[in-house]
Amino acid sequence: MLLQIVLRLIEDALRWLVLLARADETVRSENLVLRRQLAMFVERGIQPRRVDAAPESVWPF
């Protein structure tokens, strides 16, 4: 159990380092896509689904 926790912490740290190394253009383009998606939701009056309201079967952990 402790080994799984340590491995998860190492995995999370590596993902964090990868996110830090991302190019600014990548972050800007991702933000643009998310803004457009949000604008479509607002325009159509769609309520986005909440992540924490998803069924437990969706999450693998």
Confidence of residue 24 (pLDDT cuts 50, 70, 90): confident
Q: Write out pLDDT tens, residues 28-52.
A: 999 999 999 999 989 998 876 776 6
- Listed by start position, the domains of the chain span 2-45
Q: Which residue has the tokens 């340590």?
A: 6
Q: pTM for this one? A: 0.46
Q: Which residue, chain included where needed, has tokens 């952990």?
A: 61
Q: What is the CB-side half-sphere exposure of residue 58 using CA atoms within 13 A?
A: 6
Cβ atoms of residues 43 and 36 within 8 Å: no
HSE value, Cβ hemisphere, 13 Å, CA-based, for 14? 6
Whether the Cβ atoms of residue 41 and residue 48 lie closer than 8 Å to each other: yes
